[in-house]
């Protein structure tokens, strides 16, 4: 039941031919939405598969036409997308039916590699061991030991190590992606107006017609030819906003490693999502 304060919301009954109650200052559609809003829904459902239990996150999408499941690689959880008229009961039934798929896909995720002392993290495709240097100044820097081992040194309190490594990798990703994107933009005669660095789980990069590019910071973990391909791919969308044959000809024009980079991502791309997350 919805209650209104008489002092703040004086109202009167206005009966239409349909016999519906309207509230002052609101259209019929707005009144209907206010009085008949959808009750609060649970954010998750619990799914059982054998002796295992999984929490599945629910998301309702206005463009969805059916129930779909996907695995979020960094959050390490299953996400069930529901159509506008879908019900929680149907969603739970759908998730339970696919409990085996959820268990298999979650079990296939590579082991998490949190940013803590001893973890080996690839930087531009080269393995670097994280080393805590509490007594030194600075933030994050690279060194090479006498043995030839590459290390990533992190100063300050160990409790800040995760954030400092994340910040360092994002800065390095932005630097490399800006350089590569601007180079390809000059080759194609287009202009990149803005570059955003995010932690995208469903795509490595994206582009808008206004010239804004967005990339996953995790590309700095991959070899340089992979990062360069993704930069070329998104810049090429400023010429062709599609994935037609013409688009791929544009990509091939500025990047000589398309096939090699795509094959690398198919084989190793999922592994990049395990870095910097907790079990």
**Distance (Å, whole) CA 113 – CA 271:** 10
Q: Binning pLDDT at 50, 70 and 90, where does residue 265 land?
A: very high
**3-class state of residue 250 by DSSP:** helix
Q: Binning pLDDT at 50, 70 and 90, where does residue 136 land?
A: confident
Reported as a single tens digit per residue, the pLDDT across 17-36 is 444 455 555 566 665 555 55
Query: Which residues, in sequence order, are bridge partners of residue 143?
Result: 151
CA distances from 49 to 16, 76, 95, 97, 220 (A): 53, 17, 10, 9, 37
Reported as a single tens digit per residue, the pLDDT across 64-91 is 999 999 988 878 889 999 999 999 999 9
Reported as a single tens digit per residue, the pLDDT across 157-181 is 999 999 999 999 999 999 999 999 9
| Residues in Cβ contact with 232 at an 8 Å cutoff, skipping those fewer than 6 apart | 180, 184, 251, 254, 255, 258
CATH number attached to the domain at 120-274: 3.30.2010.10
Query: Which residues, in sequence order, are bridge partners of residue 79?
Result: 57, 70
Six-digit token pair at 40?
Answer: 């609060």
> Is the CB of residue 159 less than 8 Å from the CB of residue 132?
no
- pLDDT of the residue at 59: 92
Domain limits of the chain?
Answer: 1-37, 44-107, 120-274
């Amino acid at each position: 039941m919805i209650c209104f304060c008489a002092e703040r919301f004086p109202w009167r009954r206005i009966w239409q031919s349909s016999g519906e109650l309207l509230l002052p200052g609101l259209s019929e559609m707005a009144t209907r939405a206010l009085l008949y809003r959808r009750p609060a829904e649970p954010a998750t459902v619990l799914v059982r598969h054998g002796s295992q239990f999984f929490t599945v996150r629910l998301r309702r999408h206005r463009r969805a036409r059916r129930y779909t499941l996907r695995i979020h690689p960094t959050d390490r959880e299953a996400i069930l997308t529901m159509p506008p008229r879908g019900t929680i009961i149907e969603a739970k039934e759908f998730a339970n039916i696919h409990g085996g798929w959820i268990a298999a896909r979650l079990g296939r995720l590579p082991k998490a590699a949190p940013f803590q002392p001893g973890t080996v993290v690839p930087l531009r495709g080269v393995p670097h061991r994280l080393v805590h240097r509490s007594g030194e100044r600075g933030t994050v820097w690279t060194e090479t030991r006498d043995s030839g081992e590459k290390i990533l040194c992190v100063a300050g309190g160990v409790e800040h190590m995760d954030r400092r490594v994340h910040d360092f990798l994002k800065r390095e990703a932005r630097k490399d992606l800006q350089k590569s994107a601007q180079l390809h933009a000059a080759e194609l005669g287009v202009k990149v107006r803005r570059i955003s660095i995010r932690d995208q789980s469903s795509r490595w990069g994206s582009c808008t017609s206004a010239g804004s590019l967005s990339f996953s910071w995790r590309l700095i973990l991959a070899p340089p030819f992979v990062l360069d391909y993704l930069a070329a791919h998104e810049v090429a969308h400023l010429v062709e906003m599609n994935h037609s044959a013409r688009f791929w000809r544009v990509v091939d024009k500025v990047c000589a490693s398309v096939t090699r980079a795509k094959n690398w991502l198919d084989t190793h791309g999922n592994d990049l999502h395990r870095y910097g997350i907790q079990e």
